[in-house]
A and B are shown apart, each in its own frame.
Chain A
Amino acid sequence: MRILIVEDDLEAAEAMARGLTEAGHECVRGADGREGLAAAQGGAFDVMVVDRMMPKMDGIQLVETLRREGDRTPVLFLSALGEVGDRVDGLQAGADDYLVKPYAFPELIARIEALARRRDTGSVHTLLKVGELEMDLIARAVHRAGKALDLQPREFQLLEFMMRHAGQSVTRTMLLEKVWHYHFDPQTNVIDVHISRLRSKIDKGFDRAMLQTVRGAGYRLDA
Chain B
Amino acid sequence: MKMPRLFRTTPFRLTVLILALFASAASAFLAYIYIATAGEATRRTDRDIRREMTSLIGVYDRAGPDAVNQALIERASSEKPFLYLLLTKDGRRISGSIEQSPVENFTGQPAWASFQVTDINAQGRAVKHPARGLQERLKGGEVLFVGADAGEDEAYLASIVGALQAAGFLVLALGLGVGVLVSRNVSRSMVSLIDVVERVRNGETGVRAHVRGARDEFDELAQGVNDMLDRLERSMAGHRHAGDAIAHDLRSPLTRLRARLEAAYIDVEAGKGNAEEALAQALEDTDGVLKTFGAVLSIARLQAAGQAPNPVVFDPAELAADISELYEPFCEDKDLEYAAEITAGLTVRGNREFLAQALANLLDNAVKYTPAGGAIMLRVRRRSSGEVEFSVTDTGPGVPDEDRERVIQRFVRLENSRNEAGAGLGLSLVAAVAEAHGGRLELSEGPGKVGEMGPGLRVAFILPRA
Proximity bits, B340-374, A CB within 8 Å = 1, else 0: 00000000000101101100110010011000000
Task: Report whether A182 and B327 are in contact in the complex, using a CB–CB cutoff of 8 Å.
Answer: no
Proximity bits, A165-198, B CB within 8 Å = 1, else 0: 0000000000000001011111110100110110
Distance in Å from the Cβ of B364 to the closest Cβ of chain A? 4
With the chains together, A118 CA to B423 CA distance in Å? 35
Distance in Å from the Cβ of A52 to the closest Cβ of chain B? 16
User: Which B residues between 424 and 451 are near A, CB-CB below 8 angstroms?
Assistant: 426
B315 beta carbon closer than 8 Å to chain A: no
Task: Report whether A182 and B298 are in contact in the complex, using a CB–CB cutoff of 8 Å.
Answer: no
Cβ 8 A contact of A180, one of B322, B333, B361? B322
The size bracket of the interface on B is 20 to 34
Given contacts A104-B287, A184-B353, A187-B422, contact A83 B309 (CB under 8 A): yes
- A194 surroundings in chain B (CB, below 8 A): 326, 329
B121 beta carbon closer than 8 Å to chain A: no
Label chain B's interface by main secondary structure. helix
The size bracket of the interface on A is 20 to 34
B290 beta carbon closer than 8 Å to chain A: yes
A85 beta carbon closer than 8 Å to chain B: yes
| Chain A residue with Cβ nearest B424 | A187
Cβ 8 A contact of A186, one of B290, B310, B360? B360
A88 beta carbon closer than 8 Å to chain B: yes
Given contacts A84-B309, A85-B309, A180-B322, contact A186 B364 (CB under 8 A): yes
A18 beta carbon closer than 8 Å to chain B: no
Task: Report whether B329 and A197 are in contact in the complex, using a CB–CB cutoff of 8 Å.
Answer: yes
Cβ 8 A contact of A84, one of B297, B329, B353, B360? B353
B110 beta carbon closer than 8 Å to chain A: no
With the chains together, A55 CA to B56 CA distance in Å? 111
B291 beta carbon closer than 8 Å to chain A: yes
Distance in Å from the Cβ of B370 to the closest Cβ of chain A? 12
Task: Report whether A187 and B298 are in contact in the complex, using a CB–CB cutoff of 8 Å.
Answer: no
From A83, A85, A183, A194, name the one whose CB has the most chain B CB atoms within 10 angstroms. A83
B198 beta carbon closer than 8 Å to chain A: no
| Chain A residue with Cβ nearest B333 | A193
Distance in Å from the Cβ of A88 to the closest Cβ of chain B? 7
- A104 surroundings in chain B (CB, below 8 A): 287
Proximity bits, A36-78, B CB within 8 Å = 1, else 0: 0000000000000000000000000000000000000000000
A154 beta carbon closer than 8 Å to chain B: yes
Distance in Å from the Cβ of A104 to the closest Cβ of chain B? 7
Task: Report whether B290 and A187 are in contact in the complex, using a CB–CB cutoff of 8 Å.
Answer: no
Given contacts A82-B294, A84-B354, contact A188 B367 (CB under 8 A): yes
- B310 surroundings in chain A (CB, below 8 A): 84-85, 88
- B329 surroundings in chain A (CB, below 8 A): 190, 193-194, 197
A146 beta carbon closer than 8 Å to chain B: no
| Chain B residue with Cβ nearest A82 | B294
- A82 surroundings in chain B (CB, below 8 A): 294, 297
B325 beta carbon closer than 8 Å to chain A: yes
B330 beta carbon closer than 8 Å to chain A: yes
User: Which B residues between 441 and 466 are near A, CB-CB below 8 angstroms?
Assistant: none
Task: Report whether B326 and A190 are in contact in the complex, using a CB–CB cutoff of 8 Å.
Answer: yes
With the chains together, A182 CA to B351 CA distance in Å? 12
| Chain A residue with Cβ nearest B358 | A184
Given contacts A83-B301, A104-B287, A182-B353, contact A188 B309 (CB under 8 A): no
Cβ 8 A contact of B357, one of A88, A184, A196? A184
Distance in Å from the Cβ of A32 to the closest Cβ of chain B? 26
From A154, A183, A188, name the one whose CB has the most chain B CB atoms within 10 angstroms. A188
With the chains together, A24 CA to B422 CA distance in Å? 37
A102 beta carbon closer than 8 Å to chain B: yes
Task: Report whether A182 and B356 are in contact in the complex, using a CB–CB cutoff of 8 Å.
Answer: yes
With the chains together, A102 CA to B289 CA distance in Å? 11
With the chains together, A196 CA to B334 CA distance in Å? 13
| Chain A residue with Cβ nearest B291 | A185
| Chain A residue with Cβ nearest B425 | A187
Distance in Å from the Cβ of A75 to the closest Cβ of chain B? 22
Distance in Å from the Cβ of B282 to the closest Cβ of chain A? 13
Distance in Å from the Cβ of B112 to the closest Cβ of chain A? 94
| Chain B residue with Cβ nearest A184 | B357
Task: Report whether A187 and B309 are in contact in the complex, using a CB–CB cutoff of 8 Å.
Answer: no
| Chain B residue with Cβ nearest A103 | B290
Q: Can you name 11 A-B pairs with beta carbons within 8 Å? A: A84-B351, A180-B322, A180-B326, A182-B353, A183-B353, A186-B326, A186-B360, A188-B368, A190-B327, A190-B330, A193-B332
The 4 closest A-B pairs by CB, nearest first: A187-B364, A190-B330, A184-B357, A193-B330
If A180-B326, A190-B330, A194-B326 are given as contacts, then 13 extra A-B residue pairs at C-beta distance below 8 Å, sorted by A number, are A82-B294, A83-B301, A83-B309, A84-B309, A84-B310, A102-B290, A182-B357, A184-B353, A184-B356, A184-B360, A187-B291, A187-B368, A190-B326
A residues near B (Cβ < 8 Å) are 82-85, 88, 102, 104, 154, 180, 182-188, 190, 193-194, 196-197
B residues near A (Cβ < 8 Å) are 287, 290-291, 294, 297-298, 301, 309-310, 322, 325-327, 329-330, 332-333, 351, 353-354, 356-357, 360-361, 364, 367-368, 422-423, 426
